[in-house]
Amino acid sequence: MAATSMSWSWAHWISSVSFSTGEMFHWGRSYLESSWPPLEERFIQTMTAAEGNLLAFFSRPVAAALGILVLLIWLTPVVAWVKRRLAK
Full 3-state SS string of 3-58 = HHHHHHHHHHHHHHCCCCHHHHHHHHHHHHHHHHHHHHHHHHHHHHHCCCCHHHHH
Domain range summary for the chain, segments of one domain joined by +: 20-49, 57-88
Confidence at residue 17, expressed as pLDDT on a 0 to 100 scale: 62
Confidence at residue 15, expressed as pLDDT on a 0 to 100 scale: 60
pLDDT at 68 over 80: yes
Residues 38 and 76: their CA atoms lie apart, in Å, by 30
pLDDT at 69 over 90: yes
Amino acid letter, residue 32: L
Confidence at residue 47, expressed as pLDDT on a 0 to 100 scale: 87
CB environment 39-68: b (16+ within 10 A), e (fewer):
eeeeeeeeeeeeeeeeeeeeeeeeeeeeee
Record the pTM: 0.46
Higher pLDDT, 9 or 69: 69
Reported as a pLDDT band with limits 50, 70 and 90, residue 48 is: very high
